[in-house]
């Protein structure tokens, strides 16, 4: 695919691997081939399940903050996650290190999430004066409204153990067995009747993508125009504490 995104096959399972050192930020150079890979695998009848993994010491530490404030290059993360969520084939995210912001949202777009014992996940966008564009309308369906509000409004990361306790990840495994566990799980699903699996996914996801998604799409640009968001992004890039005026 590219130097940033690769696809490997293991039987009926295809694994997309993101490799954008040092933290696998979701820059345009990652988003474009990632979207291409998802669409290609979605339309490939020989693929029964899809895995999402990342090279290096972390999953995805979020968006590429250096692109904030610049004309947005397509595809946007929300479009990618929308495609990922709509794929009829089962998808499994293998989370290690940190999955923050857009990284966690990418994992949330998958049907299942497996994490290693040292992983941390979170939605720190509020610390930049922003909110997560996808998780804000999906997370409460997974962990409940109160916990979703806590994660989104405080912005603090949680451990893999806590993520498993609240149902954010399916299971936590030792780091050196993460990919083996994720692949074994994906292969078990891939062996099931494909139409039944696709229909189960469709039934569980019925009703998603309606007005609540449109609200998120409309709300994010509004936040980006606010003075606090500009200050939050500037402070992050300058490695200083932001001075929000609200």
Phi, psi of 209 (to 5 degrees): 90, 15
Q: What pLDDT, on a 0 to 100 scale, did the predictor assign at position 209?
A: 53
Active site residue 231: no
Q: What pLDDT, on a 0 to 100 scale, did the predictor assign at position 108?
A: 95
Burial of 196 (C-beta count, 10 Å sphere; 0-12/13-18/19+): exposed
- Average pLDDT score, the chain: 88
pLDDT greater at residue 136 or residue 59: 59
Domain range list for the chain: 5-176
Q: Which of 67-71, 81-85, 173-177 has the lowest mean pLDDT?
A: 67-71
3-state secondary structure of 139: helix
When pLDDT is averaged across residues 97-103 and rounded to a whole number, the result is 96
Q: What pLDDT, on a 0 to 100 scale, did the predictor assign at position 124?
A: 94
Question: 85, 62, 58, 220: which is closest to 139 by C-alpha?
Answer: 85
Given a cut of 90, whether residue 104 has pLDDT beyond it is: yes
d(CA 79, CA 134): 10
Q: What pLDDT, on a 0 to 100 scale, did the predictor assign at position 223?
A: 59
Q: What percent of the chain is modeled with pLDDT above 90?
A: 65
pLDDT greater at residue 52 or residue 69: 52
Into which CATH architecture does domain 5-176 fall? Answer: Alpha-Beta Complex (3.90)
Q: What pLDDT, on a 0 to 100 scale, did the predictor assign at position 217?
A: 53
Q: Which of 32, 76, 125, 164 is catalytic?
A: 125
Q: What pLDDT, on a 0 to 100 scale, did the predictor assign at position 243?
A: 80
d(CA 169, CA 161): 9
The string of pLDDT tens digits covering residues 109-122 is 999 999 999 999 99
Active site residue 125: yes
Q: Which of 32, 76, 85, 105 is catalytic?
A: 105
Q: What pLDDT, on a 0 to 100 scale, did the predictor assign at position 202?
A: 80
Cβ–Cβ under 8 Å, residues 59 and 32: no
Q: What pLDDT, on a 0 to 100 scale, did the predictor assign at position 46?
A: 96
Q: What percent of the chain is modeled with pLDDT above 70?
A: 86
The string of pLDDT tens digits covering residues 159-215 is 999 999 999 999 999 999 999 999 999 999 999 999 998 888 788 776 555 455 555
Given a cut of 90, whether residue 74 has pLDDT beyond it is: no
DSSP 8-state secondary structure symbol assigned to residue 71: P
- Between the CA of residue 14 and those of 48, 72, 109, 190, 194, what are the distances in Å? 8, 29, 16, 10, 15
Q: Which of 81-85, 100-104, 220-224 has the lowest mean pLDDT?
A: 220-224
């Amino acid at each position: 695919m590219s130097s940033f995104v690769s696809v490997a096959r293991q039987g009926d399972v295809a694994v997309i691997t993101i490799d954008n050192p040092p933290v696998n930020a979701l820059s345009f150079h990652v988003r474009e081939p990632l979207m291409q890979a998802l669409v290609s695998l979605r339309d490939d009848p020989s693929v029964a399940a899809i895995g999402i993994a990342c090279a290096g010491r972390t999953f995805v530490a979020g968006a590429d903050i250096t692109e904030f404030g610049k004309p947005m290059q397509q595809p946007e993360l929300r479009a990618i996650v929308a495609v990922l969520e709509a794929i009829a084939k089962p998808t499994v995210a293998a989370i290690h290190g940190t999955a923050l912001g857009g990284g966690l949202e990418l994992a949330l777009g998958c049907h299942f999430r497996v994490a290693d014992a040292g992983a941390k996940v979170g939605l720190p966008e509020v610390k930049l004066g922003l909110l997560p564009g996808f998780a804000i309308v999906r997370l409460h369906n997974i962990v409940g409204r109160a916990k979703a509000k806590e994660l989104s409004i405080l912005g603090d990361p949680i451990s893999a153990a806590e993520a498993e306790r609240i149902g954010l990840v399916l299971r936590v495994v030792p780091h050196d067995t993460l990919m083996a566990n994720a692949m074994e799980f994906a292969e078990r699903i891939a062996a099931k009747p494909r139409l039944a699996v696709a229909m189960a996914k469709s039934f569980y996801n019925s009703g998603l993508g309606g007005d609540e998604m449109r609200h998120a799409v409309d709300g994010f640009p509004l936040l980006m125009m606010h003075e606090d968001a500009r200050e939050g992004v500037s402070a992050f890039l300058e490695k200083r504490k932001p001075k929000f005026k609200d």
